[in-house]
Amino acid sequence: MITIDKNTLLSDLQEKFGAAIQKVEEPYGLLTFTTTKDQLLSILTFLNESDVYRFRFLTDLCGVHYADEKQLAVVYHLHSMESNFRMRIKVFIPESNPRIPTVCKLYKSANWQERETFDFYGIIFEGHPNLKRILNVDDMVAFPMRKEHPLEDPNRIDKNDSYFGR
């Protein structure tokens, strides 16, 4: 079993990719950093093909909509099975041009995960072999997980706080 030291991993990434490794943090002990979509494939290829780190399993890939900032994020959760080490990589893209390269060639599990993220957030994974809706109807024009609509109808009278003594 190999052992990954997070400080060594981070140092190797910063040495190899420099300024592309941004906003490093460790929420709940999970090494997390942000990078650019231009450097994403290079970083993931390095982590996947490295005989030292062996991040060969993509646990999850998901989207997040930051409506106030007019941007979307794609979040990648990687796992090195040999060392039982997990990490997270975030990539932010503008809401106006939600495009990012596919990682299907590196991780087969990304196929359905990218389709789901496209279906719910409208993020286009360039180079994906079959990017189409997976859970919603094909002719749907909206992306239901984007925060583009009010959470509640402002005209509902049963939600009036004065009825509840507030």
Q: What is the pLDDT of residues 104-159, one digit of tens each?
A: 999 999 999 999 999 999 999 999 999 999 998 888 888 888 887 766 666 666 66
Average pLDDT score over residue span 20-43 = 95
Is residue 136 in a domain?
Answer: yes
CA distances from 111 to 8, 24, 128 (A): 31, 27, 7
Q: Is residue 158 part of a domain?
A: no
- Whether residue 80 is contained in a domain is answered as yes
Structurally, the chain folds into a number of domains equal to 1
| Domain limits for position 13 | 6-149
Work out the widest C-alpha separation in the chain, in whole angstroms.
Answer: 64
Q: Where residue 68 sits, what CATH number does that domain have?
A: 3.30.460.80
What is the pTM assigned to this prediction?
0.88
pLDDT tens across 47-87, in order?
A: 999 989 999 999 999 999 999 899 999 999 999 999 999 99
Residue 4 vs residue 34, higher pLDDT: 34
- Mention every residue, 6+ apart, whose C-beta is less than 8 A from residue 97: none
76 assigned to some structural domain: yes
